[in-house]
Amino acid sequence: MKILSRKIGQKLHRVLVELPPCRRILYDGTTPYFLSLPTSRFSIGYRIYQLEDGKSRFCTYSFKFCFVGENNKILVPPFCNLYENLEVCCNKVESDSLESMIQDQIDLFFASEFNDDMFFAIDEHYYQIHNLANGNLHELLNWEIWQKKSAHDPS
């Protein structure tokens, strides 16, 4: 994990984190898939609260995720819990340090169940993905195919 930038505001802060290509176990519902993922970027919005004992508490409020392709092109991952603005539908975390907050949020994201229970809601983003897939949306989102095709190459 590499922190690319950190923007400190008066009340709201943001950190941009990049993960190199890697293999991860992701869950589609309860089915585990061992997938190779390309370079990934996470934009994490957080607040810092000062506690009475003088310590700080780091709390996420926003979490965005994307893949990065050639020439730093931003790619939308085919995950059903991702909004069109790349915001992730995921629980937020709290921690005593910035580094552990970042790691906890990323670990929580990858431990989530990526299910399609709300996938066919009225959402322009997925309509566009469907058009890009030339009608083969379920093939594009088929993690079994992804697992087979990426078995040895994390990029």
Q: Is the dihedral of CA 135, 127, 20, 33 positive or negative?
A: negative
Determine phi and psi for 32, rounding to 5 degrees: -85, 140
Average of per-residue pLDDT values in the chain: 77
pLDDT in tens, 109-124: 888 776 555 444 434 5
Q: What is the torsional sign of CA 103, 109, 112, 113?
A: negative
What pLDDT is recorded for position 120?
Answer: 45
In the block, which residue shows the tokens 């975390």?
A: 93
The amino acid at residue 33 is: Y
Q: Show pLDDT as tens, one digit a residue, over the chain (155 residues).
A: 777 666 655 578 999 999 999 888 887 777 888 888 889 999 999 999 888 888 889 999 999 988 888 888 888 777 767 777 788 877 889 999 999 999 999 998 888 776 555 444 434 555 555 444 445 555 556 778 778 877 765 54
Structure tokens at 151: 């078995």
Q: Residue 3 forms beta bridges with which residues?
A: 17
CA distances from 154 to 39, 48, 86 (A): 9, 35, 22
